[in-house]
Amino acid sequence: MSLTTVLQLVNRMSKPRIVRLIIIVLIISSMFGFALRSALTAVAADKTEKADKRQPEQVINDLKSTGQQLSAVLESPDVLLDPAKRQEVAPKAIPPIKKLVALFDELAVADERTKPQAMEAQRKLPAMLGVMGYED
């Protein structure tokens, strides 16, 4: 599903449906924490060195800091519920979301053990970009 299609769907949604979507987005963002925890556990279990790539720990640290930046921008559910507030924070939220997509991709490449969790988290981010009004 393209972002344009997602944006068209968001524009046609009623307020209760948008509220449900926002709740789902918040749940998904909490899943990032679980995905990161799983990735940390997998990395801690097997410390293999790869000189040509960044270490998974470095990518995970970047994921944490980028997630904190995004959390600071999306300080409350009201930001996502109110179209005016969404439009206001979108320029601040879109770059960290796009960076998260790239970091989860890098994590999947850096460590095969974390690939399922990273890919699952990465698949959910385009919906968040669509809610923020981002178009390719």
Look at residue 41 in the predicted model and tell me its pLDDT: 72
Distance CA 94, CA 109 (A): 23
pTM, rounded to two decimals:
0.62
Look at residue 75 in the predicted model and tell me its pLDDT: 82
Listed in sequence order, the residues at least 6 apart from 78 whose beta carbon sits closer than 8 Å to its beta carbon are 85
Look at residue 62 in the predicted model and tell me its pLDDT: 93
Distance CA 3, CA 38 (A): 29
Distance CA 97, CA 95 (A): 5
Distances (CA, A) of 97 to 20, 52, 109: 20, 26, 19
Averaged over successive runs of 10 residues, the pLDDT of the chain (136 residues) comes to 70 75 72 70 59 79 90 82 87 91 88 84 82 79
Look at residue 95 in the predicted model and tell me its pLDDT: 92
